[in-house]
């Protein structure tokens, strides 16, 4: 999933208020479809852990129905929506909108009857959508590393070698992902010098990075993970050209 610069939030928020409502968005050149249960599960899990506001819109209505995700099943593509007290979902298609990190996330689900958990009318069991639409809201377009690709960053920190998977990339920086033990010492503001970036076996580059944020989260498949966002300190023309080429290949890949 990716999804831009996260903010580390460890306290679950309270029920969303009207000022937290997020309007739906139209498909544009800056948006893309997130597909696959793993990525969608990770996104919904992050929203649940933080208690972020979910704005729901019935077909033909501009009035938001507010709620948040209570929980995500760790094994099945199911989640439970927690509506604000007194809120009701009308039958039919509903558009769900949320802000995840620095991107807007939107998907649609529909039912003729939104059955609730017995005795708890505000809790509505749901299944994952097939796709989620993501609208980036940052200076640089960001793309997730293609599935199956061997993208990694290798560096030395405090005399210890590290090799961490590259999760996403842009012309502004890269996102790393790994277990807590893999990214120990990668604190905000830390400068990583002579980092070796490997984009496949034959594409190796050396650059300097600065850690800009870290965010712990629970992956739908891999358990506890940490996302580390890094900014390029000096982006060499050769590496810039390689990133542009990779991002074009990702955009042009069949879905």
Q: Say how far apart CA 151 and CA 247 lie, in whole Å.
A: 13
Q: Give the model's pLDDT for residue 11.
A: 54
Q: Say how far apart CA 210 and CA 230 lie, in whole Å.
A: 5
How far is residue 39 from each of residues 16, 51, 255, measured CA to CA in Å?
24, 18, 15
Q: Give the model's pLDDT for residue 10.
A: 45
pTM exceeds 0.75 for this model: no
Q: Give the model's pLDDT for residue 114.
A: 95
Q: Give the model's pLDDT for residue 15.
A: 87
Q: Give the model's pLDDT for residue 2.
A: 39
Q: Say how far apart CA 109 and CA 126 lie, in whole Å.
A: 9
pLDDT in tens, the chain (255 residues): 334 333 334 456 778 988 888 888 886 656 788 888 988 999 999 999 889 999 999 998 889 999 999 999 989 999 999 999 999 999 999 999 998 876 889 999 999 999 999 999 999 999 999 999 988 755 566 778 877 778 999 999 988 999 999 988 888 899 898 898 889 899 888 999 999 999 987 789 999 999 988 877 777 667 788 888 899 998 899 999 988 888 888 776 655
Give the angle 248-253-254 at the CA atoms, nearest 5°.
Answer: 155
Q: Give the model's pLDDT for residue 220.
A: 66
Q: For residue 41, how many other CB atoms are within 10 A of its CB?
A: 24
Q: Give the model's pLDDT for residue 6.
A: 37
Domains delineated in the chain: 18-136 (2.30.110.10), 143-252 (2.40.10.220)
Rounded to 5 degrees, φ, ψ at 232 are -70, 130
Q: Give the model's pLDDT for residue 253.
A: 62
**Whether 215 contacts 10, CB under 8 Å:** no
The 123-127 sheet, strands edge to edge: 31-35, 131-136, 103-111, 92-100, 54-58, 65-72, 78-83, 123-127
- Is the CA virtual torsion 112, 116, 118, 120 positive or negative? negative
- Phi and psi based region of residue 148 (left: phi greater than 0; alpha: psi -120 to 50; beta: remaining): left
């Amino acid at each position: 999933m990716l999804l831009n610069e996260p903010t580390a939030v460890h306290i679950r928020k309270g029920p969303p208020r009207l000022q937290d409502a997020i309007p739906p968005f139209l498909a544009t050149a800056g948006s893309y479809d997130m597909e696959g249960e793993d990525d969608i599960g990770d996104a919904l899990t992050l929203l649940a852990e933080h208690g972020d506001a979910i704005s729901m819109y019935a077909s033909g209505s501009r009035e938001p129905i507010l709620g948040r995700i209570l929980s995500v099943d760790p094994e099945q593509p199911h989640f439970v929506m927690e509506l604000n007290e007194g809120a009701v979902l009308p039958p039919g298609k509903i558009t769900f909108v949320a802000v995840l990190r620095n991107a807007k996330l939107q998907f649609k689900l529909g039912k003729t009857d939104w059955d609730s958990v017995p005795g708890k009318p505000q809790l509505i069991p749901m299944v994952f959508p097939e796709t989620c639409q993501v609208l980036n809201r940052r200076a640089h377009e960001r793309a997730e590393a293609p599935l199956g690709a061997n993208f990694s960053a290798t560096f030395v920190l405090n005399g210890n070698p590290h090799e961490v998977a590259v999760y996403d990339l842009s012309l502004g920086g890269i996102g790393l992902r790994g277990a807590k033990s893999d990214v120990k010492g990668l604190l905000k503001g830390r400068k990583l010098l002579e980092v070796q970036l490997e984009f496949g076996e034959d594409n190796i580059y050396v650059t300097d990075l600065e850690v800009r944020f870290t965010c712990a989260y629970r992956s739908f498949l891999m358990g506890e993970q940490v996302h580390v966002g890094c900014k390029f300190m000096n982006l060499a023309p050769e590496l810039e050209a390689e990133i542009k080429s990779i991002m074009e290949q990702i955009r042009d890949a069949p879905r």
